Structure formats: structure tokens, C-alpha cells
């Protein structure tokens, strides 16, 4: 997931005035033009044969003739590089993240080769304006771990609670600065919903990032709020490997939850424990977990209607 608050929206391309879907962060109600996503790979999909070379994604479904955007999984290495280029533009160019990739102008890490990359393109011109990467459990095994396991100790969640074989990890999301009216991110969420349904996986997890540029006041206030009302049950808890210490951090008089975090919580997501510190991006990360079984059926139907098979 790796999403950020409004104050740090540049990292992941949130709209400036409201989260995707409007002031109430009603992401499922966002007026997004219908656009298809290809059928995602089934549970038998294998990792790429050559490390660093993306595995070919399924061919896209027939596209609708209306709407400014199309959405699909990356089909080849050129598609993946377009996603990596956008990520670098947002993460490094806008936020000053310290990205130690092998190629200038691209955000590349070892997990890219194992992931499916969801892309939203302008219908006119084909420019990639939004991306999310998805790591299904079959290829997480080949990769050796989830990305989030670098930040959190997750054995209790993955093995003790039995989620390792059913959890899709979402992350590295961003939207081009010229397309942050909520439509693109809502369409990506719809693509993720279709991906989960088509692959037969029930769980989605990933990091939700909170900026620390204000000294941690927002992050500390958000933690207080979610700890009181939105913590996952004990069997779904994780522990940060590098904890972000919120004790003693002055809180803002009034804390407003970040738009995308509020959106996830509305869908039924839970926060799985205390935040981890990610110094590379200068944020505190919460691990957020969502089950399709716990998602409001009306929201799920809406998302799936945006990306018909």
C-alpha cells in the first residue's frame, strides 16, 4: 500500500484538497470512467525465469471507448520501466527520497521483477499517470519474503494466522502530479479489487506512510486514533523492526486521519501494530491489512463494476 497522508501526498500522488473520492474520502464513490483491467494471473503463475526481467503479464481485455484513462497490468519490460520512471519522478523528484537504484531516473528494487505492475494510462498519448505494484504470495515465496517483512516482523501474521499463502502485498503507488483529482487512484483501487477476485486471494496488505517533516505530530496523532479504534486482533499483529518512537512527541490539537488511510479503514482495513521508521523516505509506516470478506459489499461491487472482466 505504502500510502501517505495529505501532508505528504506528493509521495504517492494523492489529490491535494481531498482524498480520492471527495472531501469525505469516499473512495468507492469516486466518479471514475469504466476501464478494463486484464485478468490477473492465477495461483499457478510463476516468477520470471530471468532475475530482473519482468514476467509477461496477461494480455489486456478489450478496452471501452469512453473515459480519459485505461488500466491494465504491465505487459512487458517497457511497461514496467514506465512505472519505475513515474515512481522516481514522484518519490525522488518531488519528495527527495534517497533511491539507490542501478539506473538514473528509474526507481528499481529487487522486488520489481516478481511483481505485477498495475498501470493507469492516458487514453490519448498512452502516458502512464498512475501505478501500483502487486506481489502475490506465489512470487513472494520466490522472492524470499514480502517487501514489508524488511520493516516488520510478520511471522505471527503470515504463518501463525495462516495468511502467507493468501496475502497480496500492494505498494510503490503514485500518481502523476497533473492527474491528482482522485479518478486515477480510484481506478487503481478498482484494478486491485479485480486482481484479488480474479486471482482468488482474499487478503491485501502493505504500508501506509505518515510524514515526519512536522516533527512527528501528525504521525503520533494518527497512531493515537487508530490504536483506540482500528487495531487488528492479536493474531494479526506485526512488530516493527525499527520502531518509530511516538512517546513524548507533541500532538496536534486536532488530528485528521490521512485520506487514503481513512479510505482503507472505511473498507474494513485494520492497522496491525505500532509504526516502523522508514528513514529512506522520512516517514513512519503503519502496516494495514484488508480482507475482501470484511469489505463493504456495496463498495466491492462498485469497484468491480469499473473494471469488468
Please tell me what DSSP assigns to residue 158.
I
Q: What span, in angstroms and rounded, lies between the C-alpha atoms of 225 and 243?
A: 18
Residue 201 CA, distance from chain mean position = 16
Q: What span, in angstroms and rounded, lies between the C-alpha atoms of 207 and 220?
A: 16
pLDDT by residue (tens digit) across 168-216? Answer: 999 998 899 999 888 898 898 899 999 999 999 999 999 998 989 899 9
Helices (H), 172-229: 183-199, 217-229
Close Cβ partners of 254 (under 8 Å, ≥ 6 residues apart): none
Ramachandran class of 240: left when φ > 0, alpha when ψ lies in -120 to 50, beta otherwise: beta
Opening angle at CA 110, ends 259 and 238, nearest 5: 50
Superfamily designation of domain 3-306: Gcn5-related N-acetyltransferase (GNAT) (3.40.630.30)
Average pLDDT along the chain: 81
pLDDT at site 218: 94
Q: Helix or strand or coil: residue 33?
A: coil
pLDDT by residue (tens digit) across 165-178? Answer: 999 999 998 899 99
Q: How confident is the model at residue 47 (pLDDT cuts 50, 70, 90)?
A: very low
Share of the chain above pLDDT 90, in %: 58
Judged by average pLDDT, the poorest of 52-56, 168-172, 249-253 is 52-56
pLDDT at site 2: 58
Q: How do 152-153 and 167-175 pair as beta strands?
A: unpaired
By the 8 A CB rule, do 35 and 70 touch?
A: yes
pLDDT by residue (tens digit) across 74-121? Answer: 999 999 999 999 999 998 888 777 888 788 899 999 999 999 999 999
By the 8 A CB rule, do 90 and 173 touch?
A: no
By the 8 A CB rule, do 48 and 113 touch?
A: yes
pTM greater than 0.85 (yes/no):
no
Q: What is the mean pLDDT of residues 284-288?
A: 97
Share of the chain above pLDDT 70, in %: 79
Domain boundaries, the chain: 3-306
pLDDT at site 266: 86
Q: What span, in angstroms and rounded, lies between the C-alpha atoms of 133 and 233?
A: 27
Highest mean pLDDT among 63-72, 149-158, 166-175, 276-285: 149-158
Separation in Å, CA 278 to CA 104, 241, 309: 22, 10, 37
Q: How confident is the model at residue 1 (pLDDT cuts 50, 70, 90)?
A: low
Amino acid at each position: 500500500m505504502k500510502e501517505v497522508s495529505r501532508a505528504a501526498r506528493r509521495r504517492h500522488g494523492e489529490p491535494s484538497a481531498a482524498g480520492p473520492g471527495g472531501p469525505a474520502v469516499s473512495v468507492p464513490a469516486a466518479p471514475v470512467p469504466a476501464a478494463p483491467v486484464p485478468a490477473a494471473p492465477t495461483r499457478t503463475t510463476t516468477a520470471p525465469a530471468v532475475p530482473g526481467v519482468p514476467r509477461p503479464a496477461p494480455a489486456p481485455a478489450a478496452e471501452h471507448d469512453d473515459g480519459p484513462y485505461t488500466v491494465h497490468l504491465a505487459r512487458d519490460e517497457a511497461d514496467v520501466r514506465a512505472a519505475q520512471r513515474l515512481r522516481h519522478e514522484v518519490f525522488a523528484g518531488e519528495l527527495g527520497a534517497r533511491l539507490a537504484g542501478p539506473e538514473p531516473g528509474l526507481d528499481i528494487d529487487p522486488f520489481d521483477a516478481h511483481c505485477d505492475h498495475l498501470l493507469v494510462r492516458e487514453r490519448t498519448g498512452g502516458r502512464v499517470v498512475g501505478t501500483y505494484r502487486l506481489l502475490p504470495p506465489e512470487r513472494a515465496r520466490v522472492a524470499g519474503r514480502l517487501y514489508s517483512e524488511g520493516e516488520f516482523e510478520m511471522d505471527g501474521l503470515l504463518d501463525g494466522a495462516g495468511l502467507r499463502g493468501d496475502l497480496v502485498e500492494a505498494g510503490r503507488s503514485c500518481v502523476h502530479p497533473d492527474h491528482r483529482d482522485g479518478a486515477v487512484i480510484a481506478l487503481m483501487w478498482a484494478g486491485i479489487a479485480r486482481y484479488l477476485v480474479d486471482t482468488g486471494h482474499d487478503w491485501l496488505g502493505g504500508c501506509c506512510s505518515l510524514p515526519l517533516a512536522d516533527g512527528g505530530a501528525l504521525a503520533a496523532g494518527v497512531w493515537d486514533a487508530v490504536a483506540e479504534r482500528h487495531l487488528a486482533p492479536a493474531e494479526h499483529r506485526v512488530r516493527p523492526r525499527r520502531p518509530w518512537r511516538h512517546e513524548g512527541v507533541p500532538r496536534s490539537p486536532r488530528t485528521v486521519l490521512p485520506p487514503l488511510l481513512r479510505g482503507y479503514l472505511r473498507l474494513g482495513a485494520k492497522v496491525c501494530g505500532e509504526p516502523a521508521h522508514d528513514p529512506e523516505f522520512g516517514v513512519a509506516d503503519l502496516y494495514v491489512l484488508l480482507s475482501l470478506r470484511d469489505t463493504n459489499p456495496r463498495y466491492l461491487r462498485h469497484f468491480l463494476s469499473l473494471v469488468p472482466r
